[in-house]
Amino acid sequence: MKFIILFLVLLSLLVTIINADGEELKCEDIFKVSACNECQTELWNIWKNPPPCGFSIRFIRNIITNYIDASKQTHLVPYNITPYNEAVKESCDAGFSCSYQEAESLMKEVENKCPKELTTHVDWSANPTTLDSTVTGAYGTVLFLYFGIPDHDAVCVKSSNGELCGIEIAKPLVDWIKQKIPEGKFQISFDHKFVYKEDGTRFEIPREFFACGECANKMRKFYEDWPVQHPFPEYLVKNIFGSWEEVEKFYTCPKDNGRMKLKRTFRRSTGFPHMMNANGFVF
């Protein structure tokens, strides 16, 4: 499964086009440099003016805008996810049109402009604040474009009670983090394995939040055949996930006795016992 909200949100510095005072920021402000290089400029242009295939990018922009607007109206308390929930509804209600060919063309542009960044090793379990935002931004942008279509379908599918899964899957994780870090100051690792307190202390996140339950199962279906139909560059698979098998293992519900059908699908279709990645959110 690849519900991308968590990964998206941790790149929020990259997409904060307007700060809390309403002042427009520049590329140099986001990356904290005197002049943006070719890669940073490419990322900035995509995030500032999201293409039709950039569902996840527009989604995260909606989240940020909603939180900024809410903060101007009232003092936001930790773990208030109402602006997030509204962003899910807004993003799913908006029109969406994208072909994989369009997304692939945009991905290749990022690959061409960011070759150094996309071959840089990253410890995805680390505290996101310690990582290079240009490097994580390049990887994240490629992922958002590659998975744009299934991301849209997964976030916007509804559970049996009629709620959007993009909303329903978030609450249990929010409640768990609130118990661990009631003060509300935290960072979640890009691989979704750890949550960090402000002092650097970290807690391991139970896999059940991403791999188990009705919505997790419904959302996963949109990714099952995606890498079979649209192969992802091997060097990016290795640099981001290690292997599809590692991702499949992480997103297999611990409560399941057997392996997911995904493994058989990948072995039969590609020779790899692999699957996809997943996601989380911002508060």
Question: Is 140 within the bounds of a domain?
Answer: yes
Q: Is residue 93 part of a domain?
A: yes
In-domain check, residue 69: yes
Comparison of pLDDT for 132 and 185, the residue scoring more: 132
DSSP label of 185: -
> Does residue 208 belong to any structural domain of this protein?
yes
Distance CA 15, CA 13 (A): 5
Q: Hunting for tokens 């520049």 — which residue is that?
A: 26
Examine residue 263 and state whether it is found in any structural domain, yes or no. yes
Average pLDDT over the chain reads 81
- How does pLDDT run across 186-204, given as a tens digit for each residue? 888 888 889 999 899 999 9
Count of domains for the chain: 1
- Which residue range is the domain that position 122 belongs to? 5-269
Both tokens assigned to 69 = 């607007």
Q: Where are the alpha helices (DSSP H) in 53-198?
A: 55-73, 82-93, 100-113, 133-146, 148-156, 165-168, 170-180
**Is 172 inside a domain boundary?**
yes
Q: Is position 281 within any domain?
A: no
Residue 252 is predicted with a pLDDT of 81
- Asked whether residue 274 is domain-assigned, the answer is no
Alpha-carbon dihedral 119, 40, 38, 100, rounded to 10 degrees? 70
Q: pTM for the full model?
A: 0.83
